[in-house]
Each structure stands twice: as C-alpha cells, then as structure tokens.
Structure 1
C-alpha cells in the first residue's frame, strides 16, 4: 500500500482532545469493570417524546427523502427567529441572520475559515472548549490567549491586552455558560465586550451551547440581548444540550448578517442541506412546549446540589457551578490534572477530564460532567471523597 503524506493543513490540526479521551477510556474499561465515566459532556436523557414523534411523522413524508435547500428550510429558520424573539427579545431576519448548522461545532470550526487568513490574530480564552483550536488551525491563524481566572469569575479582561494586539484581532471566541469552568457572563461583561469589539472591529463568536442551563433562578444571557451585539458578532446555539438531541446534529448561528452569509456560503460548497425530518423535529423543538427544557435544567440543578453536598459533608469546599452541566474542580496537591485523573481511575474507578486538555490554565483542575443519573453521581462523589487526599485536612478547598 502506498502511504500518502497528509497536507500541511491537516498537520496544523491540534490533537483532538475528546478523541484522545475516548481512547484512554477504552483502555481503562479493558482494565476495570466498575468504572463511572464523568469525563464526557454527552446528555444521558432522551429527547422529549413530542420531538421524536415529529421526526417519526416526517420520516413518512417522501419529500424529505429529496435534497433540501442548502441553507435549510424556511420553516426552520423562522422557528429560530420565533425562538429568539420569545426567549430573549431579539429580533432576527430569517433570510439574512440565521444559518442552520450540522450541530454548533460545525459552525464553530467554519467561522475561522470564513473570517481568518493565515497569520491573522484570534483572541481565544484559556481554558476553553478544545474544538475552537481546530478551525483556527485549519485557517493557519495566530492565537492570543485571554486568561480565564477564578479571581475574575472566569471572565476575560480586555484591559490586559495591548492596543496593537486588540486592533490586530479579527475574531474573539467566548462561551457562556462556560465549558469547562461552569461560569456565566453578566450583562456588564457583554456590554464591555460589545464596546471592545466596536472599538477594534473584531467579530465576536459567542458559543451558547449551554444557553438553557442556568441555576439558582437565573437564566443565562444571550450575547445578542446586549445592545449593539448583532452589529459585531454572532451566537451559536445547539439543540444537543437544550433538548437532549446531541446525536441528531442540528444547531444554528444567528447574528451579524455578513458573518452569517459567510457561513452559508461556505456550507453551500461543503454540504447539501440537512435531512428534512430532523429539520421538522428541530422546528417543533423550538416552537413547541418548553417545559421539558425547564425540567431538564431542574434535573441538572438537583444533580449539582446533591453532588456538591457530598463534598461539603466530607469537609471539602467546592465551587458551585453557575451554568452548564459541569463541575470545574481544583485538584488537591501535589497532583497535576493528568496525575489526578489517573489516581481517580486507579483508586476510585472514576473517569474525569483533565483540565490541561482545555488549555494551559486548565492545569490543576479536572472537569466533571453531571450528565449521569443521580445515583451514579452520588456513588462517584462518595468514591472520590473517601480517598486519602480528601481526608488530610477537613478545611481543604478545591
């Protein structure tokens, strides 16, 4: 067999963190049987029945067996518009300000292709969702990191950037509720973001994947709710987390018309539209009864509270997540993130995601997913808190 060399474009791609984790988990499961996996953000509950029934009915419609419009059916784009108006009070043009995506990850990778040339500057939070790096690598752009630190509630500070860097930047990635830190953004922060973007003519790409998952009676803010936001950026939304439709691969981007047109243009060349049955179901999800969305958030909040309570009962203080379905836990000394993950696997049979996979400032943390049944989470918490590092000092903070 002739082995052909990969292109320079592929060589620029970073190591795919979640593929790496999946391979590690495969090896771990060969070694141990009673493993609890808290390392992946994959919803464990089914999609609501009314959405599944919509797909079943659409599957019998032969028109859905044909190629659909490359930019999505009108009814789905209009459902997106209705959803944003109802939930966030944001007005959108279905023809110019909505792009239908094969899950929000597709758009997150595509936007770098749409806006960045080789050598261009992109502002990237550290830590962050690793797949932002994929699009940036494909575009051969240069990264300037924005530290997300606990002392600033895991929000970046634009005042730490020098003027030259700010003016050179073409794209800024944000993600609130945040993966992996579980932080949320304030209206003041989003206002500062719009001002920064306007002054420096940088496009804001806000990843709103966990937009429906906020706790303690507080709904997460859409970036587009901020005055002027639609002039300087777009927002990605996915039904994966809000409606437990991760495997259905359907999402959308909304906002700045010029950026939306770029994404649509790229997709005109790389795809042939999306299965009409899934588009019908997605439209139903957006326009139908949202009580299942609220119930899902309540489920995650209950899981969060019970999980954290197990640590508190063991005398361990842990930061309470404000959004998403993750716990961003500081590891006890003297472990690194990778060492602590290995320790948890060997001693507690619990898998978590090492924080360094989300960026250098993720070192010293692990990400724990709440996308497991309550009994499983409580068993995992008990196994962890029974370990020696948590018995040394009852006042330890993680």
Structure 2
C-alpha cells in the first residue's frame, strides 16, 4: 500500500541526486573523480580538540544522556566567543542553546515558531534548509533576493504590502552559502529597523563567520543593539574547526526564540554526546591559531582555483568568504542549464560540482564549487577543465 505523506509531498526531488548517482557510478567504474560538490571539510579536526574528546570519553560518567540545550561549560564558552569576537554580552542561561549543527537548529526553530500557512521570507538562492525547514513546518515561503542592498530591502517592503498573512519571519545568511556574498553592520541595521517596525522575526545563519579572506571579519547581526528584540543567530563548529561530522552548532540571541528552541529540543533529543560537547568547549576556549591555519588553507585553494580557471577561459568572481566559489556557467554552456552542465563536466572532465538550481530557481545559470580538495587536486581539476573547454571551443557541438 502506497501513501502520499503531506509533508513529504511538499519536498521537491533532490536536485543533487542525479549528479551524485553519476559520481558514484563513475567511481565504481574506476574513474578518478575530483569532488567539489559537497561542502565537506577534508582537513582533520585540530589535534588538541581530538585529544580532549579522547580524554573525556575515557570517563564512563560521560556516557549517559547529555543535556538537550547543551552543557553549561559549552554554553558559557559560546557566550565568551561572542564577547571576544563581536563585543556583545550573552547570557549563557537564557540567550544561547547548543544545537546538533546549525541545520538542526534552524529546522527545529522553524517548527517551534511556525503556524501552518505562515509566510516566511527566504533568500533565493540559499542553502536548502532555509527553505525546506519552514516548508516542512507548514509555512508558505516567499523568495527575496540573496544579495544585500536596496533590491532586498525593496523586496521586503513589497512582501509586507502584498503578502497575506503578513510575513512572520525572515532568514538571512551572510557570508552566504552558496553565493559567498557578505554584508556589513550598516545593512544589518536596516534589516533590523524594518523587521522591528513590522513584527518580523529574524533568523541569521552565520555558519561561515570565521572563513573569510580579507581584513574585514564578517559581523554578527547581534552587534545591532535592537536586534536582540527580534533576532536569533546560528553559528557552527563545522567549518571553523573542521568538525562537520561532530554536529555541534549554536543558536544565540532573543530570549523568547531561544526559549522556544530549547523547549522543542527537550522533546526531541538529549543533546550531543557529552565528550563531543566538552571537546567543542576546548575548541572555543583554546588556541585559535588552528582557525587561522584553516582560513589560510581555504584562501590558498581559492586563489589557485580562481587563477587557474581564469587561465583556462572560465572567469569566476573570487569569493570574499566561505569555502565555495559561485561560478557563472561559461557562455558556451549556458543553454544547458546548471544540472546538465554539471553532468557534462563530471562526464568529460571528471570534476563534480553542485548545480546552482539546487539552491533555488534563481541559482540557475551557476554552479557551486567547493574548496574541499587539496591544491594538487585543484590543479589537476583545472587541467581537466582546461582540456574540456579547449575541446568544446574547438567547435564540438553540444
């Protein structure tokens, strides 16, 4: 007997599935695929963090249920990080909550604050959970531009004027996955002023706070004083410390939103394994030179990729932050669309990328390239792509 479950019906087919299937088949056939498709850090977690995990797990007292909102020491470490990094004070008891990665936190907060039929504003293109966390919760999602500026502000005004019911929340994400665009505190101030005046909650995704490549570290929306009335921010250990599989992140900000998330999580999980949380606290409290090293690693990879592809005839804007390049499809291949171009690149150049349409309809015309292979492999990918481009520029029809 087959059923069509309502929440599952609202989820579209997984756009990346075709590329992933082709990638698996190619590897099974013995092909050497260079995989830029998934944002999965390839560097090991720094040794002092792993050592703390090993030390803590030796104590059998840490093997029982943990705390769904996070152990006190880790909440305190996150509060201290916010004061050190952004100059804002956080109450570790009421204004921050540990999550199983920022993705889980976003989805569970969406469930906690959403009434079916609510209108939620989400950038397009954006990381899929920004859309689908709210769709699973029964909301109607209205797209707004992903790039900060007047276009986004005008879209907010139109959404308030023309949406029924009026939007109840907005998701923002800077530095952005997938576009890598950034914003400044002045833009956050405009967003906060508008949303406070219109009773709209703000959910800010700051997962890439520490992966930046110039002299201007990405700000937090919580640096805007009035943001604490309406905003919560999600951060993550995944990219900053190469701890993606550890599943540790944080929600920080407005007490009412943190309270809602904490309450719903108390019904759903017992928190991350305690030794993982202890090691995460050691990461935040310990030496930060490992973060500088991780940042420098991605910067070097970025430069090799962008410079190499430019020489191959594929001009891509150099991302100011994140571990991704948001690459416009070369003119000759634009008619294919991002999915078919990604499949062609995989087939002929043995390079896997993420089709832009997987991040929303306005991601069409782009692919996302993850900086998740070492420099040697990136140079190999550039050579493969250069041959691919030369072959097609020589007159081969598509």
2:355 maps to 354
Name which of structure 1's ranges 243-252 and 375-384 shifts more when overlaid on structure 2.
Answer: 375-384
2:284 maps to 286
Give the 5 Å matches for 1:100-111. Answer: 100-111=98-109
* 1:157 aligned to which of 152, 158, 171: 152
Cα distance between partner residues in 2 of 1:389 and 1:232: 52
Partner SS state of residue 169, structure 2: strand
2:25 maps to 27
Let me know the Cα RMSD of the aligned residues.
Answer: 2.1
Shift of 1:31: 4.4
Shift of 1:264: 0.5
Q: Contact (CA 8 Å) 2:314, 2:330: kept in 1 or not?
A: no
2:117 maps to 119
Cα distance between partner residues in 2 of 1:19 and 1:100: 31
Q: Contact (CA 8 Å) 1:209, 1:241: kept in 2 or not?
A: yes
Partner SS state of residue 31, structure 2: coil
Q: Contact (CA 8 Å) 2:312, 2:382: kept in 1 or not?
A: no
Q: Contact (CA 8 Å) 2:22, 2:343: kept in 1 or not?
A: no
Paired residues in the alignment total 388
Q: Contact (CA 8 Å) 1:148, 1:156: kept in 2 or not?
A: no
Q: Contact (CA 8 Å) 1:115, 1:170: kept in 2 or not?
A: no
Shift of 1:317: 2.8
1:259 maps to 257
Gap regions ≥5 residues in structure 1: 394-398
Q: Contact (CA 8 Å) 1:329, 1:365: kept in 2 or not?
A: yes
* 1:302 aligned to which of 300, 303, 307: 300
1:176 and 1:367, CA in 2 relative to 1: closer, same or farther beyond 3 A?
Answer: same
Partner SS state of residue 240, structure 1: coil
Shift of 1:275: 1.1
Using the size of structure 2 for normalisation, the TM-score is 0.92
Shift of 1:44: 0.3
Q: Contact (CA 8 Å) 2:56, 2:62: kept in 1 or not?
A: yes
Shift of 1:362: 0.5
Cα distance between partner residues in 2 of 1:99 and 1:25: 37
Cα distance between partner residues in 1 of 2:200 and 2:133: 17
Partner SS state of residue 131, structure 1: helix
Shift of 1:390: 8.8
* 2:202 aligned to which of 197, 200, 204: 204
1:191 maps to 189
Q: Contact (CA 8 Å) 1:14, 1:134: kept in 2 or not?
A: no
Partner SS state of residue 225, structure 2: coil
Shift of 1:156: 5.5
Shift of 1:10: 2.9
Cα distance between partner residues in 1 of 2:121 and 2:105: 17
1:156 and 1:247, CA in 2 relative to 1: closer, same or farther beyond 3 A?
Answer: farther
Q: Contact (CA 8 Å) 1:115, 1:171: kept in 2 or not?
A: no
Give the 5 Å matches for 1:122-137. Answer: 122-137=120-135
1:14 and 1:326, CA in 2 relative to 1: closer, same or farther beyond 3 A?
Answer: same
Cα distance between partner residues in 2 of 1:185 and 1:377: 28
Name which of structure 1's ranges 93-102 and 211-220 shifts more when overlaid on structure 2.
Answer: 211-220
Shift of 1:113: 0.7
1:309 and 1:6, CA in 2 relative to 1: closer, same or farther beyond 3 A?
Answer: same
Residue by residue over 1:304-325, the C-alpha shift from the partner in whole angstroms, topping out at 9 and shown as x without a partner, is: 1111111233354321101101
Partner SS state of residue 128, structure 2: coil
Name which of structure 1's ranges 188-197 and 258-267 shifts more when overlaid on structure 2.
Answer: 188-197
Residue by residue over 1:342-392, the C-alpha shift from the partner in whole angstroms, topping out at 9 and shown as x without a partner, is: 111121111100000101111000000001101111111221133237974
Shift of 1:227: 2.7
Give the 5 Å matches for 1:71-82. Answer: 71-82=69-80
Cα distance between partner residues in 2 of 1:362 and 1:390: 26
Shift of 1:5: 2.7
Shift of 1:7: 3.2
Residue by residue over 1:264-288, the C-alpha shift from the partner in whole angstroms, topping out at 9 and shown as x without a partner, is: 0000101123211001001001111
Q: Contact (CA 8 Å) 2:117, 2:139: kept in 1 or not?
A: yes
1:225 and 1:193, CA in 2 relative to 1: closer, same or farther beyond 3 A?
Answer: same
Partner SS state of residue 196, structure 1: helix
Q: Contact (CA 8 Å) 2:16, 2:354: kept in 1 or not?
A: no
